[in-house]
């Protein structure tokens, strides 16, 4: 019989494999993003794994022929579509009777294509064996599918022993403890794990097939019940009760998921602290779009640096204070919105802020916070000051718990609503203002617009969801998971809000102004790449070089099939001051200078450049967006 093995390759020159019939192919992703086959690279096992797996199988069934499909992990992970392609290749283009898979996707929401190709294998009578995750309570696929035998690590006296389990974390326990296995270069090493257990189980049932013990999947099920050693235990707890099917079916509804990603709606009046911050200034500037009534602005008692916030508050006639709050002022609000007050190097202001938090906890106020340090302090204060605290502390973040909830609630579906992302060449260019303005323009014309904000304050300004990657990034999930996460968030918005357009925006500049050599991930670029927008709007500074603007958009279009609709010119120009430290400052250019630069960019850039604050530009902006998506 022929056995398919999906692993890291095989060294077929190893003396343990000298007499074996071994063929195969390597599948990898091309530079263009497709999947290509390499019939030679399969015989290189650089990761020292597949050779041992093949040797274990052949210990049990030496007369079997082996067909290896080599997959190379990317950053330690095998992409789901590549694993799906490997299984499909074995099912559709070979005559294998058993498929052995040492790898899997740790998720609560496996792709439909992966599930379907495993069901296709079962329908053809092919037995698929896959390693369970080494942490017993983590779901892993394809091992978690009902059409697949998921194999865990057991303590078996003999390599031919196994245990069939029903209603457990895994379907099978087999020998996965410390053992000597082959590795490339005629070498051996000691290893353990569920992948070794899977190989032993594959070898066991292959030998049984050759001996006439079974010929169909139904007969195999009976043979397994008859020969199962039910005394085998798992020190890794792969023998624990667990209903995999029920675990997948207990999915939260879109309403339940949406509710966990947003603050509750049973609040009416908010106070903000400290109002001097950039994020709070956005709330003041766009107070007409707030989801709640802004009833009090609280500032630092000792001013560190003056700004326009107080002028804006007085212009709008909003109540404010720079002192300890009176009882009347506490009664003005039910929710305190707290910013980054711990950033300021003033003990007096920090103590003022901590006392404000204590008093609000004492009075059972709600909180919306976007600083992890503040959130942690609130948890401590709550336990000390008011153990019976019963209101809500909403932290604008996206963590693993929310990710797991998202993944468990969603199946991949085709995205039908177009999306637009605002990017920029630098910071302080009005990217957030541009997003809000585009949303306003579209809504004034009767369009429904959903907003996924990367600014924490977006949740108060009409954004449906937040993914805060800016100052003090509060997205606590692996950047490699952003693509799937953002795609599923768009699906949630499509179903829940039924928008005509989804708008989002990046943070800061996509490219550094000067080359850098550091270990930081290019998160701004990663966000746009992961979100994968259908169109871009690019904000620029008054004296950005044309080549730098072009490079900024080119780097995105190298990853994303998209194009720029228009540019937005900010009046703020950055300037560098070099000394012991390089400092960047911003100056606002005058109206005449601004018009000159606006004309310059309209002449030299391939797409229009607009003033987002000029309401006379609104019809032009609307037309550019409509023209791009008129066929959608």
Report yes or no: 281 and 305 within 8 Å, Cβ to Cβ. no
* Parts of the chain with a pLDDT under 70: 75-76, 242-251, 304-307, 345, 517-521, 576-584, 631-632
Q: Alpha-carbon distance 409 to 252, whole Å? A: 5
Cβ atoms < 10 Å from Cβ of 596: 12
**Quick one: CA dihedral 47, 121, 88, 80, positive or negative?**
negative
Q: Is residue 78 within 8 Å of 27, Cβ to Cβ? A: no
- What integer pLDDT is reported at residue 583 of this predicted model? 65
Residues paired with residue 37 on neighbouring β-strands, in sequence order: 27
Give the whole-angstrom CA distance, residue 179 versus residue 181: 6
Q: Which residue has the tokens 């799906």?
A: 84
Secondary structure element (H or E) that encloses residue 568, with its range: strand 564-569
Phi, psi values for residue 304, rounded to 5°: -90, -45
Q: What is the DSSP string of 364-431?
A: T-EEEE--HHHHHHHHHHHHHH-TT--S-EEE--B-HHHHHHHHHH-------S-EEEEEESSSSS-H
Point out which residues pair with 586 in neighbouring strands: 574
CA–CA separation, 373 vs 378, rounded Å? 9
The 3-state secondary structure of 51-84 reads HHHHHHHHHHCCCCEEEEEEECCECCECCHHHHH
pLDDT, residue 60, reads 98
Q: What predicted TM-score, i.e. pTM, was given to this entire model? A: 0.65
Nearest alpha-carbon partner for 50 in 101, 3, 93, 87: 101
Nearest alpha-carbon partner for 359 in 343, 381, 337 = 381
Q: For position 245, what pLDDT does the model report?
A: 47
Q: Residue 322: what pLDDT?
A: 92
The pLDDT value recorded for residue 47 is: 93
Please state whether beta strands 419-424 and 501-505 pair in parallel, antiparallel, or not at all (unpaired).
Answer: parallel
The Cα-based distances of 198 to 87, 153, 306, 601 in angstroms read 16, 8, 66, 62
Mention every residue, 6+ apart, whose C-beta is less than 8 A from residue 612: 430, 433, 434, 437, 568, 621
418 in Cβ contact with 534 (< 8 Å): yes
How is 259-275 classified by DSSP, letter by letter?
Answer: HHTS--S---EEEEE-T
A 10 A CB-CB count for 293 gives 14
**pLDDT at position 246:** 47
Give CA–CA dist 443/437, Å, rounded: 10
Taking alpha carbons only, the member of 60, 293, 83, 356 closest to residue 199 is: 60
pLDDT of residue 604: 97
pLDDT of 571 reads: 94
Closest CA to 242 of 102, 132, 80: 132
């Amino acid at each position: 019989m022929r056995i398919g093995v999906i692993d890291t390759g095989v060294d077929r020159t190893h003396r343990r494999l000298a007499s074996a019939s071994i063929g195969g192919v390597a599948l990898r992703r091309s530079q263009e993003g497709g999947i290509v086959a390499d019939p030679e690279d399969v015989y290189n096992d650089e990761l020292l794994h597949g050779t041992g797996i093949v040797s274990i199988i052949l210990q049990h069934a030496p007369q079997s022929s082996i067909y290896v499909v080599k997959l190379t992990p990317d950053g330690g992970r095998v992409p789901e579509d590549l694993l799906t392609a490997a299984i499909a290749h074995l099912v559709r283009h070979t005559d294998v009777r058993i498929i052995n898979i040492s790898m899997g996707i740790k998720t609560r929401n496996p792709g439909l294509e992966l599930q379907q190709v495993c069901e296709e294998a079962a329908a053809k009578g092919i037995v698929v064996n896959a390693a369970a995750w080494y942490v017993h309570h983590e779901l892993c696929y394809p091992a978690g599918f009902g059409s697949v035998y998921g194999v865990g690590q057991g303590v078996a006296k003999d390599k031919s022993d196994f245990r069939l389990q029903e209603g457990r974390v895994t379907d099978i326990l087999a020998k996965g403890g410390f053992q000597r296995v082959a590795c490339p270069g005629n070498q051996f090493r000691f290893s353990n794990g569920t992948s070794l257990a899977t190989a032993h189980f594959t070898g066991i049932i292959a030998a049984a097939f050759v001996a006439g013990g079974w010929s169909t999947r139904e007969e195999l099920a009976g043979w397994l019940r008859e020969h199962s050693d039910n005394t085998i235990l798992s020190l890794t707890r792969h023998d624990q009760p667990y209903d995999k099917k029920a675990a997948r079916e207990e999915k939260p509804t879109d309403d339940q998921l949406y509710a966990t990603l947003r603050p509750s709606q049973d609040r009416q009046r908010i106070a903000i602290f400290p109002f001097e911050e950039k994020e709070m200034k956005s709330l003041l500037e766009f107070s007409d779009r707030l989801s709640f009534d802004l009833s009090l602005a609280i500032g630092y008692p000792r001013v560190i640096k003056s700004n326009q916030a107080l002028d804006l508050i007085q212009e709008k006639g909003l109540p404010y204070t720079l002192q300890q709050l009176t009882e009347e002022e506490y009664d003005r609000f039910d929710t305190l919105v707290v910013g980054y007050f711990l950033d300021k190097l003033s003990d007096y202001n920090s103590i003022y802020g901590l006392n404000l938090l204590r008093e609000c906890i004492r009075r059972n106020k709600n909180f919306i916070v976007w600083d992890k340090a503040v959130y942690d302090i609130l948890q401590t204060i709550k336990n000390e000051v008011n153990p019976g605290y019963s209101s809500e502390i909403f932290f604008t973040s996206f963590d693993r718990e929310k990710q797991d909830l998202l993944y468990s609630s969603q199946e991949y579906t085709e995205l039908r609503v177009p999306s637009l992302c605002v990017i920029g060449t630098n910071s302080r260019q009005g990217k957030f203002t541009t997003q809000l303005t585009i949303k306003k323009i579209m809504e004034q014309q009767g369009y429904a617009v959903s907003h996924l904000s990367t600014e924490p304050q977006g949740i108060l300004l009409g954004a449906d969801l937040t993914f805060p990657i800016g100052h003090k990034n509060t997205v606590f999930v692996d950047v490699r998971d952003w693509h799937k996460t953002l795609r599923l968030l768009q699906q949630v918005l499509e179903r829940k809000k039924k928008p005509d357009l989804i708008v989002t925006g990046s943070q800061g500049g996509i490219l550094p102004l000067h080359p850098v050599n550091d270990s930081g991930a290019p998160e701004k670029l990663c966000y746009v790449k992961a979100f994968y927008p259908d169109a871009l709007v690019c904000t620029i500074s008054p004296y950005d070089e044309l080549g730098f603007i072009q490079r900024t958009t080119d780097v995105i279009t190298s990853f994303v099939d998209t194009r720029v609709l228009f540019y937005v010119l900010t009046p703020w120009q950055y300037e560098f001051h070099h000394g012991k430290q390089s400092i960047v400052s911003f100056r606002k250019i005058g109206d005449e200078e601004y018009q000159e630069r606006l004309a310059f960019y309209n002449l030299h850039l391939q797409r229009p450049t607009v003033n987002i604050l000029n309401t006379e530009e609104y019809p032009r902006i609307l037309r550019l967006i409509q023209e791009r998506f008129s066929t959608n």
